[in-house]
Homo-oligomer: A and B are copies of this chain.
Amino acid sequence: MLQNRKSYNIVLVEDHSIFIEGLLSVLKKIENAKVLGAFVSGEEALAFLQTQNADIVFLDISLPGGKSGIEICNEISRLHRKTKVIALSNHTERETISEMLNNGASGYLLKNASVNDLENAIEQVMQGQCVMSEEIRNILFSPQAPAPRAPRLTAREKEILYWIGEGLTTTAIANKLFISVQTVESHRYNLLQKFDVPNAVVLVKKAIELGMMKEVGKGR
């Protein structure tokens, strides 16, 4: 193969120095892999990429400093179209994985990947394919968890919901938001309808399960 002639330029972004050592050591064994640099933060890697072109970036998701791997991934693939990003992480949440792929990653490997996995990944990604660990594939393509779909709430409803969760009565909420009691009751009623629940207790419980009770509506 022609491509085997030239070696691929690789950049590592990873905050665990021991793991970097491992990657270096492993990549050394892969003949057409050449590591240009290893960086602890995404910002450093971005700066480096402005000076040199890389073919592949192995990118961790949990990074120190302001930007997460997801943001870094987005920037790399925006600014350096030819550079392929392969996520290298232990995160197995469906959400995280698709975030990463949606932000331009060409692959997603778990950190327990073998040398072979790495080698294959490099090869495939350079051929324009998308690679991911078996486990990741399973997570991504397994039958969606039976859609615990959250109702779409309006801004006001989120606010009301929040205060209900704080234990305020309808009257108290009305006073706090400077609107009439009837209005709050309307929102309350609509919330119960949207969530299809019989009362505020189950409403809040369900909202918590759906992760919708996190400081919603405080500001306005």
| A residues at B contact (CB < 8 Å) | 15-26, 90, 111-115, 118, 164-167, 169, 197-205, 208, 213
Contacts and interface: CB of A to CB of B under 8 A. Distances in A.
Given A16-B22, A21-B25, 11 more contacts: A15-B112, A17-B22, A17-B113, A17-B115, A18-B19, A18-B118, A19-B111, A21-B21, A21-B22, A167-B202, A169-B199
A68 to B, nearest CB: 16
A113 B114 CA distance: 22
A15 B110 CA distance: 12
13 contacts: A16-B22, A17-B112, A18-B115, A19-B111, A20-B22, A24-B25, A25-B25, A90-B90, A167-B201, A167-B202, A200-B201, A205-B213, A208-B208
Contacts of A201: 164-165, 167, 200-201, 203-204
A178 to B, nearest CB: 22
Tally of this chain's copies = 2
A115 to B, nearest CB: 7
**Interface-central residue, A19, A20, A165, by most chain B CB under 10 Å:** A19
Nearest to A166: B202
Contacts of A90: 90
Complex A-B, nearest 6 residue pairs according to Cβ-Cβ distance, in ascending order: A22-B22, A21-B22, A167-B202, A18-B22, A21-B25, A16-B112
Contacts of A165: 201-202, 205
Contacts of A166: 202
Contacts of A112: 15-18
A17 B114 contact: yes
Contacts of A199: 167, 169
A111 B21 contact: no
A205 B205 CA distance: 7
A86 to B, nearest CB: 13
Contacts of A202: 165-167
Contacts of A203: 201
Contact of A25 (B22, B118, B200): B22
A117 to B, nearest CB: 9
